[in-house]
Chains A and B, each alone.
Chain A
Amino acid sequence: DQQVKQNSPSLSVQEGRISILNCDYTNSMFDYFLWYKKYPAEGPTFLISISSIKDKNEDGRFTVFLNKSAKHLSLHIVPSQPGDSAVYFCAAVSTGTASKLTFGTGTRLQVTL
């Protein structure tokens, strides 16, 4: 049972345009969400996070939006750059317990010139 889903396995976006990566979750106990970025042959790198008490968090070119009623979050990258090409994992956790992150299946983003 996949509690965190990323339904788009891949996404191609032109440099300078907006990239939107989506993530859905089913467990209503999740209250903290993270995005990780992974390059080949490297471990995942933390990108941005959001608590369920917020609906938006912004850090430079990266913005995460959370829609709790829809159990949906999205990562916006504006403007997209070739160096953003990587696999992006959404992760969710129920805070107050040991950090058992549940990861989504990942979306491979390709930013083209």
Chain B
Amino acid sequence: DTEVTQTPKHLVMGMTNKKSLKCEQHMGHRAMYWYKQKAKKPPELMFVYSYEKLSINESVPSRFSPECPNSSLLNLHLHALQPEDSALYLCASSRDSLNEKLFFGSGTQLSVL
């Protein structure tokens, strides 16, 4: 199983809503990532979890709150988002945080109204 599964695939939310993005992998990977990708732009790193601990936060606003309940799951909690936060949110995993080969999920296309 070399899949990273993300749900939901699409999400539309208002600026006052609270929602969560979910990511799951069963490859035994110990590093998991959240990336954000705007149209016609490269993916940009948001967070890195290594062995279930947050190791990198790329100065992401607090309206994005990551959570790693266990080694297979990664969540991204969203609250009070802005329309400019609309983007494709990609989850990825790798064997460990020093392994550069990332496996990506299909992403959640988020629209904030």
Contact = CB atoms under 8 A, between A and B. Distances in A.
Interface string A29-47: 0001010100001111110
Interface residues of B, number: 30
Q: Is the interface of A mostly helix, strand, loop or mixed?
A: loop
Interface stretch (A53-61, A64-72, A92-100): A92-100
Contacts of A42: 106-107
Contact of B48 (A44, A46, A98, A106): A98
B56 interface: yes
Contact of B42 (A32, A95, A96, A104): A104
A105 interface: yes
A93 B105 CA distance: 20
Given A98-B48, A99-B31, A100-B48, A44 B101 contact: no
Interface stretch (B12-20, B67-75, B92-100): B92-100
Nearest to A51: B100
B90 A49 contact: no
Contacts of A25: none
Nearest to B101: A46
A9 B102 CA distance: 23
A106 B103 CA distance: 18
B105 to A, nearest CB: 5
Given A95-B98, A99-B94, A43 B104 contact: yes
A101 B31 CA distance: 13
A103 B42 contact: yes
A98 B100 contact: no
Given A100-B45, A105-B41, A44 B94 contact: no
B43 A49 contact: no
A34 B100 contact: yes
B90 A98 contact: no
B102 A98 contact: no
Contacts of B101: 34, 46, 49
Contacts of B99: 99
Interface of B: 4, 6, 9, 31, 33, 40-45, 48, 50, 55-56, 90-92, 94, 97-107
